[in-house]
């Protein structure tokens, strides 16, 4: 048995809790995903209230090493996602 909640499990649980169809829930998730993606692409930080804050940060240029041959190279600075769980979500973690 897995410790993960799959996408299908999540959609089913939300549909059951809200009384909506799975199709409606998937469509709503697609809308949320689009709004978050648009905000991120515009350089904004997006907050899903009570759940997460999603933004980007720039990772600095760094020297990396190829473990196969020991060769070093420079990896340029680039942007990565930064996802921060908000307090209500963090408080749900069992002690």
- Is residue 1 scored above 70 in pLDDT? no
What pLDDT, on the 0 to 100 scale, is given for residue 6? 94
pTM over 0.75: yes
Average pLDDT for 43-67: 95
In CATH terms, the superfamily for domain 45-95 is IHF-like DNA-binding proteins (4.10.520.10)
Q: Average model confidence (pLDDT) for the chain?
A: 94
List of residues 6+ apart from 8 with CB closer than 8 A: none
Query: In the chain, what is the greatest distance between 2 CA atoms, to the nearest angstrom?
Result: 57
Classify 66 as helix, strand or coil.
coil
- Is residue 3 scored above 60 in pLDDT? yes
Average pLDDT for 21-27: 97
Average pLDDT for 25-39: 96
Classify 12 as helix, strand or coil.
helix
Pairing type for strands 72-75 and 46-48 reads unpaired
């Amino acid at each position: 048995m897995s410790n993960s909640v799959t996408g299908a499990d999540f959609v089913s649980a939300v549909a059951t809790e809200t009384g909506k169809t799975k199709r409606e829930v998937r469509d709503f998730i697609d809308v949320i995903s689009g709004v978050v993606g648009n905000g991120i692409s515009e350089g904004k930080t997006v907050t899903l209230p009570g759940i997460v804050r999603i933004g980007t940060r720039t990772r600095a240029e760094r020297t990396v090493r190829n473990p196969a041959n020991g060769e070093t190279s420079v990896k340029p600075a680039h942007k990565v996602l930064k996802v921060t769980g908000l307090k209500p979500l963090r408080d749900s973690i069992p002690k």
